[in-house]
Amino acid sequence: MWYFNSPQIVFGEDALCRLEELHGRQAFIVTDANVQHLKLDQRVQQRLERAGIPSVVYAGVEPDPCLDTVRSIAAAMTEAKPDWIIGLGGGSCLDAAKAAWLLYERPDVDPAAINPFDTFGLRAKARLIAIPTTSGTGSEATWAVVLTSCEEQRKLALGARELLPDIAIVDPALVASLPPAVTADTGLDALTHAIEGYTSTWRNDFSDGLCLKAVQLVFDYLPRAFHNGGDVEAREHMHNAAAIAGLGFGNSMTGLAHAMGHALGARLHTPHGRAVGLCLPYTIAFVARIEPDRYDDLARVLRLNVDEAGQGAAALIAALGRLQQALCEPASLAELPLTRQSFEEHLPHMLANAECDSDLVTSPRVPDHDQLQRLFECAFEGKPVDF
Ligand SMILES: [Zn+2]
């Protein structure tokens, strides 16, 4: 028995209007200083006012939110007593909103212990709306939560099925002013979700179509959104692609590029999408050695040349290289930039963190310690993976 989970997804022009239809007493908006600077929180508050719902804003979420941040948001929620919680922002804000909501409902739970096997009895106090302001994480459509243990400098890939938002509002007007570098980084995250979601060991007929469509949309529209942020059509398709990829991988999980990318991000503070996008070609080459068929499908969907079975992975890796170049993204750790000395300093921690990352569970091929070290070495030098 298997489940397909999805929030109600409201997308396209003026999707934010959905807020005017809500019934409730009090809303609590979880966001960050950047979103507040762009006054996007005010746009949400105005819509809520039209529904007669007062709201408070917590704008203190930092990139890669720590467990302590989640605890302090939950404390503010306990004071405000909301019946609607709204995560507004990139993945950090959405994930912080999910985790803080869980603590608000269940103050007895340790946020680091959020897991898919326990039942938490959420929705006794509030429901969750996710409104992304980047086109990447897909957190609006998943029950996954990534938090950071600041003491251990480690990312915790957590999640619980009940944390799936009730409503996801995918309004392209909220990404209109996303800077090019953030557009590129977050877009590569969506692409990595779609490719890993399609190749994960938990893939299924329902997630497959979503992942394939998202891969196509990213290749078609990300370069346009990057080069011309005012391209409304490209922005809208990219915003949809991120949510579609979220729905796909949210129902099949990700893999090795995310395990390595989390380890990179926690040590070097590389933006998440940049980190996983950088690792992706190396992990594709590694996984494709035992399971090439899925990469053939992906290459065909992108209309790449695949004359013979088994050539898809190489074609896909080449296409990823061209995409990275078009987006001015680094293709190796050295290009981040990172010196050999600091790479070697960080390597033992990155290896240890990647080895215990929960995303490894669904990788079709799991590297042993030596293979993982060689993968990081290749990713540092930009060398092809041939093992
Ligand atoms: Zn991701």
Mean pLDDT, range 335-344, rounded to an integer: 97
Q: Is residue 1 part of a domain?
A: no
115-124, 178-187, 220-229, 309-318 — which is least confidently predicted?
Answer: 115-124
Is the pLDDT score of 155 beyond 90?
no
Mark whether 159 and 201 lie in a shared domain.
Answer: no
pLDDT tier at 153 (50, 70, 90 boundaries)? confident
Q: 298 alpha carbon to ligand 1 midpoint, in Å?
A: 19
The whole-number average pLDDT for the span 233-237 is 98
Detail the DSSP E strand segments found in the chain. 8-11, 27-30, 55-58, 84-89, 127-132, 144-149, 154-159, 167-170
- Final residue before a domain boundary, out of 175, 201, 222: 175
For the chain, the distance separating the N- and C-terminal CA atoms, rounded to the nearest angstrom, is: 36
> How close is the Cα of 182 to the center of ligand 1, in Å?
14
Q: What is the pLDDT of residue 217?
A: 98
The rounded Å distance from CA 272 to ligand 1 centre is 6
**Cα 258 to middle of ligand 1, angstroms:** 6
Cα-to-centroid distance, 80 and ligand 1 (Å): 31
Dist. CA 61 → ligand 1 center (Å): 18
For residue 63, give the nearest of 273, 280, 343 by alpha carbon: 273
Domain presence at residue 171? yes
Q: What percent of the chain has pLDDT over 70?
A: 100
Assess if residue 112 is contained within a domain.
yes
For strand 167-170 and strand 154-159, is the pairing parallel, antiparallel, or unpaired?
A: unpaired
- Taken in order 107, 110, 115, 118, the sign of the CA dihedral is negative
pLDDT reading at 151 higher than 90? no
What is the sign, positive or negative, of the torsion defined by CA atoms of 26, 56, 75, 85? positive
**pLDDT by residue (tens digit) across 356-381?**
998 999 999 999 999 999 999 999 99
Distance in Å, CA 139 to ligand 1 centroid: 9
Final residue of a structural domain among 140, 175, 210: 175
Residues having C-beta closer than 5 Å to ion ligand 1: 189
Q: Please, which residues have CB within 8 angstroms of residue 217's CB and are 6 or more apart in sequence? A: 237, 238, 240, 241, 244
User: Residue 156: its pLDDT value, please?
Assistant: 87
Q: Is the pLDDT of residue 17 over 90?
A: yes
- The domain boundary, picked from 175, 205, 223, lies at 175
Tell me the pLDDT band of 150, cut-offs 50, 70 and 90.
Answer: confident
Within this chain, do residues 102 and 235 fall inside the same structural domain, yes or no? Answer: no
**189 alpha carbon to ligand 1 midpoint, in Å?**
5
pLDDT digits (tens, 9 = 90+) for 83-116: 999 999 999 999 999 999 999 999 999 988 898 8
Asked if omega into 7 is within 30° of 0 (cis), the reply is no
Distance 190 CA to ligand 1 centre (A): 7
For 196-220, write each residue's pLDDT tens digit. 999 999 999 999 999 999 999 999 9
Selected residue with higher pLDDT from 55 and 358: 55
Q: How many angstroms does the Cα of residue 261 sit away from the middle of ligand 1? A: 8
CATH classification at residue 315: 1.20.1090.10
Alpha-carbon span 155 to 57, nearest angstrom: 26
Q: How far is the CA of 25 from the centre of ligand 1 (A)?
A: 34
* Separation between Cα atoms, residue 225 and residue 237, nearest integer Å: 9
Q: How far is the CA of 235 from the centre of ligand 1 (A)?
A: 19
What per-residue confidence (pLDDT) applies to 327?
98
Q: What's the structural domain count of the chain?
A: 2
**Using an 8 Å Cβ cutoff, are 150 and 105 in contact?**
no
Average pLDDT over residues 316-329: 98
The answer to the question of residue 357 being in a domain is yes
Residue 247 pLDDT > 90, yes or no? yes
Across 268-301, b (16+ Cβ under 10 Å) vs e yields bebbbbbbbbbbbbbbbbbbbeeeeebbbbbbeb
| 338 CA distance to ligand 1 middle (Å) | 22
Same domain, 111 and 46: yes
Q: How remote is the CA of residue 137 from the centroid of ligand 1, in Å?
A: 5
CA of 211 to the centre of ligand 1 (A): 14
CATH (domain of 101): 3.40.50.1970
- Cα 282 to the chain's mean position, in Å? 19
Q: Is 222 helix (H, G, I), strand (E, B) or coil?
A: helix
Question: Which range of residues forms the domain containing residue 346?
Answer: 180-381
Query: Which pLDDT belongs to residue 157?
Result: 84
Burial bucket for residue 224 (CB in 10 Å: 0-12, 13-18, 19+) = middle
Structure pTM?
Answer: 0.97
pLDDT band, residue 347 (cuts 50/70/90): very high
Q: What is the whole-number distance in angstroms between the Cα of residue 252 and the centre of ligand 1? A: 13
